[in-house]
Amino acid sequence: MVDFQSLQAKFVTDQNGRRIAVIIPVEKFEGLLENLTDLASIVERREEPTISFEEVMERLKRDGNFSN
């Protein structure tokens, strides 16, 4: 969960004092975008079947992507 205070957010207000926009450091923004991208991937893939850790390791070894 994102701690609002850690975002170092600054608000832009209209002439009535209502918050209409937020300014945050670029690094914080990029981190939020990365989190959103990860969450979107999870949602898109939630119906895919799962495989065991052992199967993952077997496939990695078979394809030459892992060695002991």
Strand pairing partners for 21?
A: 12
Domain residue extents for the chain: 4-62
Place 7 in a pLDDT band, splitting at 50, 70 and 90. confident
DSSP 18-40: -EEEEE--HHHHHHHHHHHHHHH
For the stretch 12-53, pLDDT in tens is 999 999 999 999 999 999 999 999 999 999 999 999 999 999
Label residue 3 by pLDDT band (50, 70, 90): confident
Residue 50: DSSP 8-state:
P
What confidence category does residue 65 fall into, taking pLDDT thresholds of 50, 70 and 90? confident
Please check the confidence at residue 57 and state whether its pLDDT lies above 80.
yes
Joined together, the tokens standing for residue 67 give: 């060695």
